[in-house]
Amino acid sequence: MTSKYSQVLAQFDELTIGDRVEVEHLVTVGQKSWIAKTCGTVVRTERRRHGLHAQRNPDDQVFSDTILLELPDGELTSLTLDEFTTIRRA
């Protein structure tokens, strides 16, 4: 785990319901990359266990850290954290 990702997870652990945050993701599709920004109010944070679409050992656990945000227009969106994510308080 990189130190930057460790910092993101520490910030994730400090989030509480009602916090206003800005989340930046580095999105890469093929040869192109761009930064997507999402601003909103934290509704919920969770560590979600899931399986991958590959045959794996049953005790090999895979988790995703997700934030459910309410956008200014009332829309709900969920964001999954990775090593290319930056969280800032807005």
CA of 64: how far to CAs of 30, 34, 82, in Å?
A: 23, 22, 8
As a 3-state breakdown, the chain gives helix, strand, coil percent values, each rounded to 5, of: 15, 55, 35
What is the predicted pLDDT for the residue at 25?
Answer: 92
The 3-state DSSP class for residue 88 equals strand
Domain that holds residue 53: 3-89
Are 15 and 45 in contact by the 8 Å Cβ rule? The answer is: yes
More confident residue, 87 or 55: 87
What is the predicted pLDDT for the residue at 34?
Answer: 97
What is the predicted pLDDT for the residue at 26?
Answer: 93
What is the predicted pLDDT for the residue at 60?
Answer: 67
Total domains present in the chain = 1
Question: The domain that contains 14 carries what CATH number?
Answer: 2.30.30
What is the predicted pLDDT for the residue at 35?
Answer: 96
pLDDT digits (tens, 9 = 90+) for 22-78: 999 999 999 999 999 999 999 999 988 776 656 666 666 778 899 999 999 999 999
The 3-state DSSP class for residue 51 equals coil
Q: What b/e sequence results for 34-60 when a residue is b if at least 16 CB atoms lie within 10 Å of its CB, and e otherwise?
A: eeeeeebebeebeeeeeeeeeeeeeee
pTM of the model: 0.80
